[in-house]
């Protein structure tokens, strides 16, 4: 469902249900422009962005080209930016990204594609930037500019401090931007320190701007860009001055907007029970009072008198919300018992990171549990871990005389490759296999720490992940078929699925897409649909107001969960893909689980040591 913009929003903002729907909506707008310009005998001039967010848009445009005849022969494109220095053939190059993910699937003419060059000598960059600006003017200007937004609020690579009059230029990248880019480059130290980018003035001259954001980690900067004052430190706020900009968000990225987080501050609302719980919990935080201590004056001073009126008295309302939150708490005795359960873990550590506590409780409740690891996670293993494990293997072979020659040959082959490997190069098959086995052995060790037998682990190794690169293939029928086969084999009553959207490269979202596809096929075939509980990963936890169930953990249970996380040694100390939070996974988990319990305590509910949160997905 698309929610309307509020009076506080200085940029027209559309909130879309999910990532795929967002891609279809934005691609539809672009397609309409392309067709309108073609009908007038004129080319459509598009400004394009790279990154994981617009991928869904490009895939939908490719589908429209293939299935509905959308033509790109007369479309002219200008990309926002490119790293410097950067070989256009590098897997990190935006040139390569655009051709692999978009242009090579269309009938677009190569001469109509323009991407800033990052492969020129430094003394030629200024000339190239002027040429780029001239090419845009010669094309008649950009009709529609597609943008993403960085955590610093940058658009293109216009970092904090970029001026309103800035044009295409070479810019030094902000530290936060380089940290975020570290996942693509297999380490922050490999991220270029500079980039060529269109300027703010260049972007604002586009006749229409569409800016996209997805995921919980973008929610704060989205609110800052949409509702905050124009600020040179947040380049996206300059879009408030553009007459035809639309911000497209998924639900997670729009979560902090006033109309979503506190809609009662904007005017009259329809007071449903979930909204009442949200409002009273917010009021408790604002006043720093327990829910049962909130007074009529508290409600009146925070523009919530209508909510009290709908329930008669503050006491009745306080009691309603207090009981609603208390009813979410599910200790071991209230959790499923004697059921068939599948925990789908996108990577080989998401299970223990996100739900290590409930897994232990469900095992104690004598449920039959299968933990299905959907991808190998081999991209997230450092090369030095490969060397360490092969050294161990070689020493064992030498000591015990077990296939010593074969081990020696393997070690030599791997060492030869690693010695010549550049950051980001695709690993040879032997290296990928060693990394996969490392992750699998760690996953089994983590489950054993929780009390599981080895047979509880299933490694699906879905094809979409097996690119050897950070960017994955789209979910396809083969991925869905593997998930469906497991569902048919186990026949679960309940499944756990990663429901977070802040995973840096969208693997969690893509895994959920494969599960949803498999469930749809099962239901269509007349098979019963299991109950689905959504968990969140290493970046955020479900808010207590959104959670369906809150599962308390004792000090001992949290310690056991952390011990299980420790078994994933290749991800400890410094994970290859840490995301926006630099703490180790166990530190994030400890803070998150203790924080959820502490929030309930502040609201005046029972005090627990730690808590995990889950949302039951509606059918």
**488 with 527: CB under 8 angstroms?**
yes
The pair of structure tokens assigned to 42 is 């004129």
Q: Which of 479, 393, 470 is nearest to 427 (CA)?
A: 470
Which of 159, 205, 584, 590 is labelled catalytic?
A: 159
* Full DSSP string of 417-436: HHHHPPTTPPPPHHHHHHHH
Task: Give every CB contact of residue 612 below 8 A, 6+ residues apart in sequence.
Answer: 354, 355, 357, 358, 535, 541, 550, 551, 553, 593, 596
**163 with 232: CB under 8 angstroms?**
yes
**79 with 116: CB under 8 angstroms?**
yes
- What's the Rg (C-alpha) of the chain? 26
**120 with 95: CB under 8 angstroms?**
no
Q: Within a 13 Å sphere around the CA of 442, how many CA atoms are in the beta-carbon half?
A: 29
- Helices vs. strands in the chain: H and E counts, helices first: 20, 17
Q: Are strands 340-345 and 494-498 parallel, antiparallel or unpaired?
A: parallel
Element (H, E) at 610: strand 610-616
The answer to whether 612 is a known catalytic residue is no
The pair of structure tokens assigned to 533 is 């509980």
Element (H, E) at 353: helix 350-364
Task: Give every CB contact of residue 54 below 8 A, 6+ residues apart in sequence.
Answer: 26, 48, 146, 148, 212
User: What is the Cα–Cα distance from 222 to 149, expressed in whole angstroms?
Assistant: 8
Q: Which of 442, 520, 429, 499 is nearest to 468 (CA)?
A: 429
Decide: helix, strand or coil at residue 282.
helix
User: What is the Cα–Cα distance from 243 to 239, expressed in whole angstroms?
Assistant: 8
Tell me whether residue 80 is exposed, middle or buried, using C-beta atoms within 10 angstroms of its C-beta: 0 to 12, 13 to 18, 19 or more: buried
Element (H, E) at 56: helix 55-68
The pair of structure tokens assigned to 92 is 């990190």
**169 with 129: CB under 8 angstroms?**
yes
Taking every pair of Cα atoms in the chain, the longest distance, rounded to a whole number of angstroms, is: 82
Tell me whether residue 320 is exposed, middle or buried, using C-beta atoms within 10 angstroms of its C-beta: 0 to 12, 13 to 18, 19 or more: middle
Decide: helix, strand or coil at residue 7.
coil
User: What is the Cα–Cα distance from 184 to 52, expressed in whole angstroms?
Assistant: 11
Neighbours of 111 (CB within 10 A): 7
Active site positions, annotated: 159
């Amino acid at each position: 469902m698309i929610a309307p913009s509020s009076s506080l929003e200085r940029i027209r903002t559309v909130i879309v249900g999910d990532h795929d729907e967002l891609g279809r909506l934005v691609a539809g707008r672009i397609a309409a422009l392309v067709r309108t310009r073609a009908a007038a005998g004129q080319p459509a001039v598009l400004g394009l962005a790279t990154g994981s967010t617009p991928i869904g848009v490009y895939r939908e445009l490719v589908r429209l080209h293939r299935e509905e005849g959308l033509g790109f022969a007369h479309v002219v494109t200008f990309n926002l930016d490119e790293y410097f220095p950067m070989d256009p053939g590098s897997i990190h190059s935006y040139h390569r990204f655009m051709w692999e993910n978009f242009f090579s699937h269309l009938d677009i003419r190569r001469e109509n594609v323009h991407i800033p060059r990052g492969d020129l000598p430094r003394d030629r960059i200024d000339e190239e930037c002027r040429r780029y600006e001239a090419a845009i003017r010669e094309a008649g200007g950009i009709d529609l500019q597609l943008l993403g937004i960085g955590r610093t609020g940058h658009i293109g690579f216009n970092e904090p401090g970029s001026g309103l009059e800035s044009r295409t230029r070479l810019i030094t990248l902000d530290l936060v931007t380089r940290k975020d880019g570290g996942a693509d480059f297999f380490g922050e130290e490999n991220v270029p320190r500079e980039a060529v980018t269109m300027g703010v003035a260049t972007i604002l001259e586009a006749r229409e701007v569409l800016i996209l954001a997805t995921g919980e980690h973008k929610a704060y900067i989205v609110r800052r860009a949409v509702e905050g004052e124009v600020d040179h430190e947040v380049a996206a706020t300059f879009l408030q001055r553009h007459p035809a900009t639309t911000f497209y968000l998924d639900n997670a990225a729009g979560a902090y907007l006033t109309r979503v987080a506190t809609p009662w501050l904007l005017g009259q609302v329809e007071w449903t029970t979930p909204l009442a719980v949200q409002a009273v919990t917010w009021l408790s935080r604002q006043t720093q009072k327990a829910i049962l201590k909130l007074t009529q004056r508290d409600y009146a001073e925070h523009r919530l008198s209508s909510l009290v009126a709908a329930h008669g008295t503050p006491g009745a309302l306080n009691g309603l919300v207090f009981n609603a939150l208390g009813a979410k708490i599910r200790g071991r005795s209230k959790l499923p018992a004697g059921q068939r359960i599948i925990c789908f873990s996108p990577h080989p550590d998401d299970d223990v990171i996100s739900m290590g506590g409930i897994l232990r409780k469900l095992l104690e409740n004598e449920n039959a549990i299968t933990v299905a690891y959907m991808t190998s996670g081999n991209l997230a293993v450092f090369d030095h871990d490969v060397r360490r494990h092969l050294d161990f293997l070689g020493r064992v072979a030498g000591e015990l005389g077990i296939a010593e020659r074969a081990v020696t040959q393997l070690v030599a082959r791997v060492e030869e490759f690693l010695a010549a490997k550049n950051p980001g190069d695709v690993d040879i098959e032997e290296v990928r296999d060693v990394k996969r086995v490392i992750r699998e052995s760690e996953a089994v060790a983590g489950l054993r720490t929780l009390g599981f037998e080895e047979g509880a682990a299933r490694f699906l190794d879905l094809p979409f992940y097996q690119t050897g690169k950070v960017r994955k293939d789209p979910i396809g029928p083969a991925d869905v078929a593997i998930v469906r086969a497991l569902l048919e084999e186990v026949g679960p009553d309940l499944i756990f699925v990663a429901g977070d959207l802040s995973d840096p490269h969208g693997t969690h979202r893509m895994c959920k897409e494969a599960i949803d596809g498999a469930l749809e096929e099962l239901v269509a075939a007349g098979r019963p649909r299991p109950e689905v509980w959504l968990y969140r990963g290493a970046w955020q936890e479900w808010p207590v107001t959104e959670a369906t169930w809150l599962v308390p953990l004792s000090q001992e249970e949290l310690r056991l969960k952390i011990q299980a996380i420790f078994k994933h040694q290749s991800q400890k100390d410094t994970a290859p893909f840490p995301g926006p939070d630099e703490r180790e996974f166990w530190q994030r988990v400890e803070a998150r689980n203790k924080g959820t319990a502490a929030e309930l305590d502040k609201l005046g509910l029972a005090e627990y040591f730690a808590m995990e949160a889950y949302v039951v997905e509606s059918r």
